[in-house]
């Protein structure tokens, strides 16, 4: 079965990409190759490829270690967003922040948000970017969100649109022992193709 286009493939990625970019690509692939079974694991943790916790990983940071074959496959632009009411309060100096939990405080978007509003209280925390979108829509505060997701929300206002976006690279990694398996290659190619087709959406500046 390892040489056939069938069998299980486990892919992990961040929820920012899982639902709207990765899922449609995998469903389209399964329409052509129904024998491929996909387990998609949106997770804030970096599941280990070397420990076989996943076959493929799509991440916003470089991979480490010689057991992983990795390459950069795209870029994600992020902006600062607020509800219309919160945007007015930003102009009045009454800023509140929607951000990540402490275990992700090192991420570039978390630091970017803090640097933009160093004195603002962090009042709502979640590692789910979808939860952050809805918290921002509800008026909880200002958040750093993926532009391709937040720009589609008429209830959100992008702050400082004349300033450069924060851009994060997207990397895909596969355990070296599995990269030549047809089902793993098929899933990898489907995901990479979807990212390339959505380049102008993921990173509007390119």
Q: How far apart are CA 197 and CA 206, in angstroms?
A: 13
The model's pTM is 0.90
Q: Are strands 97-99 and 122-125 parallel, antiparallel or unpaired?
A: parallel
Angle (CA) 96 108 157, round 5° = 45
76: helix, coil or strand? strand
Residue 200 binned pLDDT confidence (cut-offs 50, 70, 90): confident
Question: DSSP per residue over 34-69, as a string?
Answer: TTEEEEEEE-SS---TTTTS-SEEEESS---STTEE
Compute the average pLDDT of residues 130-145.
Answer: 97
Q: Does the pLDDT of residue 109 top 80, yes or no?
A: yes
Which pLDDT score, from 0 to 100, does residue 147 have? 96
Which pLDDT score, from 0 to 100, does residue 156 have? 98
Q: Does the pLDDT of residue 1 top 60, yes or no?
A: no
Q: Does the pLDDT of residue 46 top 80, yes or no?
A: no
* 180 Rama class: left (phi>0) / alpha (psi -120 to 50) / beta: alpha
* Count of beta carbons in the 10 Å neighbourhood of residue 83: 20
Compute the average pLDDT of residues 93-111.
Answer: 95
Which pLDDT score, from 0 to 100, does residue 3 have? 57
Which pLDDT score, from 0 to 100, does residue 146 have? 96
In tens, the pLDDT along 154-167 reads 999 999 999 999 99
Compute the average pLDDT of residues 96-114.
Answer: 96
* Closest alpha carbon to 35 in 187, 152, 159: 187
């Amino acid at each position: 079965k390892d040489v056939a286009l069938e069998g299980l493939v486990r892919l992990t990625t961040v929820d920012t990409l899982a639902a709207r970019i990765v899922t449609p690509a995998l469903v389209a692939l399964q329409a052509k190759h129904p024998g491929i079974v996909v387990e998609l694991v949106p997770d804030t943790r970096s599941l280990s490829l070397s420990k076989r916790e996943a076959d493929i990983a799509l991440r916003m940071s470089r991979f480490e270690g010689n057991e992983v074959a990795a390459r950069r496959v795209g870029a994600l632009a992020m902006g600062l967003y607020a509800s219309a009411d919160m945007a007015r309060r930003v102009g009045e100096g009454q800023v509140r922040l929607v951000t990540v939990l402490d275990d992700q405080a090192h991420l570039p978007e978390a630091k970017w948000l803090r640097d933009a509003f160093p004195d603002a209280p962090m009042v709502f925390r979640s590692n789910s970017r979808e939860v952050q979108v809805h918290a921002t829509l509800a008026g909880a505060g200002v958040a750093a969100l993926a532009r391709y997701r937040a720009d589609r929300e008429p209830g959100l206002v992008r702050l400082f649109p004349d300033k450069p976006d924060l851009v994060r690279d997207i990397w895909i990694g596969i355990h070296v022992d599995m990269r030549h398996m047809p089902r793993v290659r098929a899933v990898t190619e489907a995901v990479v193709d979807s990212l390339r087709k959505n380049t102008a959406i993921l990173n509007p500046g390119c």
